[in-house]
Structure 1
């Protein structure tokens, strides 16, 4: 017995319905705070449908649950969704998104060489059915935080998935040496490939960062009063604010950065407020009464990450909305008392305020697949470890 069970479709609906009824012997009678957060997430995705909440992801989540441990892991199962957001489509992450990020390279020769490589690589990945993968613990967010599991529990989960999905690769996203060492070591020992995905930034407790970084944080936070902004927490935001919150996120993450990021709909923000899927905070202008910036975070195992971050990009950059929002985030992280996972992007800004870089990996198991199905991951792993990681570190992506 592995201790894990797979739930999908009607079985998942029945399982999630039990959390609404705390009586009897329901496994949801006394879930931990982290587990309750996962269950709320799955319930929202199941009842409202994923595309209704994340417009560019078309899937239905499944779940692994370990009754004795009281741990549930969301699963996404893909096939040919090559145009979906990178949080669901590995092809989008490694080909489509990478193509956009070439513009960040200073070297013209490097841009040309890597650009020429991406087209045949993309064809190869599609030919190998690259997206036919089960992604474990996938909330369909930029960063998936993991519950604390030991090597035995991780290994038994993998064994069950290999039995249930013999024609899929098994993928664990969002792994790094600092926050998920047990996952990395266990999966490597079981024969998983480590495929670099991006460079992320981790922010420790304020008393552990340099004094200059603390000074920058205080200076940024003072901009709130200088420009007349009030902080609105979850108790001061309403469903009527959801369209504006979605717009603020879209202005930054979709319009300015990339359409390959997850497109959170107004309904997503409405559900996030109603069910507590994320802790949402916004900045409201005292003069106009309008919401001009938003962030949303969740916690798992004492680690905090912010999949929602956005502001009105039409407001003059000198106002410093990004700096204000970042200062608010660091203050909230200090209140929560854990490690802040700041994801990728704005590298120099985050470094200046005390964040430290880590290379993030996807751990991939494909040894059970025929050779032609393994060619995509077999190409990416050595290429990105030998070429991609040095580029990420040099240019601080």
Structure 2
């Protein structure tokens, strides 16, 4: 790979790469919070979405939208794609979306209770504490995440393996002391990206078991799963809930939306998830970066979801309901059925993220594994060992264990 670097008139870095034997030329521009105002945003659907979502964060800082995220954001323009980058050095209390330490140590400790084996949980917790101490010493959070939208699932645009390789080279040159990570990769969804990044030296380190629902296939699922979904959807009429869209929501609903997300994603699951602020919800409603829907009864919003679609895939980073309502009412079941119905309507594959494994399997979702492609070969061994350890532990022990326990 040949590299020619310079500066454009806006003062941001410009890198030209010649890749392979086909003389494939890529031009990459990196913009920071000062130079992004000079960006020529692509006149495409993805470009318009990127501007609506990312421009406010570049102007006001990610912390204004997610209270437990502290990071430096950059934008990479490659061809007609705009890719967000997050840069961190430590920030060990960050949400897991930009903190590998939080993901692999803090969050993992909380999830040990899912094993329902106290002796094993205690032993693994002690092991995680020891590993975590070593990870801090090796500066595991000195990292740049590529295509990081600061959400539980980062959907990818139509990015080629060559483009990913080019971005990797640019980021390595700009941040030679940082690990480089591409989150939210799945070999079934991103075969070109995972193959190319592996070829150039990235490790594929498992992050979680996810569930995919082929809502784009009208014949997907067996008779049992279709019956369960039909039964779940019929609960709306039984309990007199109305399925409402963002058109039927107002600013007065914003605090309630934040509360519903908090009750599920934060209180029931983990405060290490992104903690969305009212400003995040207001921006999503105003810009349409999340399609918001909810369940309302007698004027009260009791459940909410927010989804977005990219490159034929749909996912819901915003999902919550009033956990004080009796479980027999089935708010989670109703909202999940409405989500699948929306995915079918859009003709998209539904990325259902992690959690509620048996529930999702029963309704036809198929398990797969999500990985982070990690590049650390340019760093000294003292910085690399923790990633090498994660690679071995998770691929040889973690993945087989999760498969066997169907987590």
Q: List per-residue Cα deviations over 1:162-210 (Å, max 9, x = no partner).
A: 1111010000011111111111101100110111110000000342211
> Whose strand fraction is larger, Structure 1's or Structure 2's?
2
- Which ranges in structure 1 are unaligned for 5 or more consecutive residues? 16-25
Q: List per-residue Cα deviations over 1:9-55 (Å, max 9, x = no partner).
A: 2111332xxxxxxxxxx443x22x22321221111212332111101
* Mapped partners of 2:163, 2:92: distance in 1: 32
* Mapped partners of 1:71, 1:173: distance in 2: 17
Tell me the residue number matched to 1:278: 290
Tell me the residue number matched to 1:268: 280
- Which of the residues 307, 315, 329 maps onto 1:305? 315
Tell me the residue number matched to 2:13: none
- Which ranges in structure 2 are unaligned for 5 or more consecutive residues? 1-15, 18-26
Tell me the residue number matched to 1:105: 115
User: Residue 351 of structure 1: CA displacement?
Assistant: 0.4
Does residue 332 of the first structure (1) align with residue 342 of the second (2)? yes
Q: Show the 5 A alignment for 1:1-397.
A: 1-2=16-17, 3-15=27-39, 26-28=40-42, 30-31=43-44, 33-66=45-78, 69-205=79-215, 206-285=218-297, 288-397=298-407
User: Stretches of 4+ moved more than 4 A in 1?
Assistant: none
TM (norm. structure 1) is: 0.94
* Mapped partners of 2:265, 2:342: distance in 1: 21
User: Residue 110 of structure 1: CA displacement?
Assistant: 2.5
Tell me the residue number matched to 2:8: none
* Mapped partners of 2:177, 2:398: distance in 1: 28
Residue 9 of structure 1 aligns to a residue whose secondary structure is: coil
Residue 307 of structure 2 aligns to a residue whose secondary structure is: strand
* Mapped partners of 1:137, 1:87: distance in 2: 11
Q: Residues 33 and 59 of structure 2 are in contact (CA less than 8 Å); yes or no, is this contact kept in structure 1? A: no
Q: CA RMSD of the aligned region, Å?
A: 1.1
User: Residue 137 of structure 1: CA displacement?
Assistant: 0.3
User: Residue 147 of structure 1: CA displacement?
Assistant: 1.2
Q: Residues 314 and 348 of structure 2 are in contact (CA less than 8 Å); yes or no, is this contact kept in structure 1? A: yes
Instruction: Pick 1 or 2: higher relative contact order, CA cutoff 8 A, min separation 6.
Output: 1
Q: Residues 265 and 273 of structure 2 are in contact (CA less than 8 Å); yes or no, is this contact kept in structure 1? A: yes
TM (norm. structure 2) is: 0.92
* Aligned pairs, number: 381
